Amino acid sequence: MRVSGAPASNPSRLVGVDEPVALLPEPPRFVSRGGEKLAAALARFEVDPTGWRVLDAGASTGGFTDCVLQAGARSVVAVDVGRGQLHRRLETDPRVESIERTNLRHLDPLSVGAPFDLVVADLSFISLSAVARVLVSAVGPQGRLICLVKPQFEASRAEVDAGRGVIADPAIHRRTLGEAAATMQEAGAAIIGAMKSPLKGNDGNVEFFLNLVVGEMTGPDVDDLLDRAVDERESR
């Protein structure tokens, strides 16, 4: 709260009838909107990363990194192809190791500390399918992966151009989600959950999460999981 433009830090302060009072919005929980997306996925998939070592693939500002740390992760290796993007608060956090200018296609997971307990991925301008084997090889047996699937980076160039960068057709959502899921399965991960992200991307694109575990296991019907994810109520 601000009174006459100044923070109201004294609860006993008397406020004049002609003084302007403004209620300030709650500060964001995470350094970027990505944290809110992942928090919803952790809750839906009932994943508790307390004490886990985590690889954040495509860290950018660090929303996913911030989220898993607040959820109890022991440490995070944050990898991104860019540089200077990670939020200062995370950059100076001793639990975070930032690895910049690194193309995930060419990443050797052992060189960054694999195996991890959990891999989280939020990739832009690259298909999840292009790095599926790298991501899966970064976790140990029964390790977990939570990957954001962005149809605009999985669809064909013609489909993206037709929508001016926004993929609105549920049929394309379902196809691209299925293709991403299939490549993750081929790489050795089982699909045990899927959901629509509660928040759209900054460009208005619908996004999806895949919940995966490494190793052979009998899980739910994957086609049914993906169908239900695409049919979920529209994202905000």
Structure confidence by residue, pLDDT tens digits, 120-159: 999 999 999 999 999 999 999 899 999 999 999 999 889 8
Cβ–Cβ under 8 Å, residues 216 and 188 = no
Domain 30-231 CATH (choose: 3.40.50.150, 3.40.350.10, 1.10.150.670, 3.40.50.300)? 3.40.50.150
Q: Yes or no: say if 200 and 207 are a contact pair by the CB < 8 Å rule.
A: yes
Comparison of pLDDT for 219 and 38, the residue scoring more: 38
pTM of the shown model: 0.87
Q: Which residue reads 């790298």 in tokens?
A: 134
Distance CA 136, CA 130 (A): 12
Q: What pLDDT band is residue 78 in, cutting at 50, 70 and 90? A: very high
Q: What is the pLDDT of residue 82?
A: 93
In whole angstroms, what is the distance from residue 64 CA to residue 71 CA? Answer: 11
Give me the half-sphere count of Cα atoms (radius 13 Å) on the Cβ side of residue 19: 13
Lowest mean pLDDT across 95-109, 111-125, 213-227: 213-227
CA gap 1, 48 in Å, rounded: 34
Backbone angles phi, psi at 195, to 5 degrees: -155, 155
pLDDT classification of 24: cutoffs 50, 70, 90: low
| Digit-coded pLDDT (tens) for 2-11 | 666 677 777 7
- Produce one character per residue of 215-232: b if its CB has 16 or more CB atoms within 10 Å, e if not: eeeeeeebeebbeebbee
The torsion angle over the Cα atoms of residues 155, 32, 131 and 69, rounded to 10 degrees, is: -150
pLDDT at 236 over 60: no
* Confidence (pLDDT) at 235: 47
Q: What is the per-residue pLDDT across 170-180, written as a single tens digit (0 to 9) for each?
A: 999 999 999 99
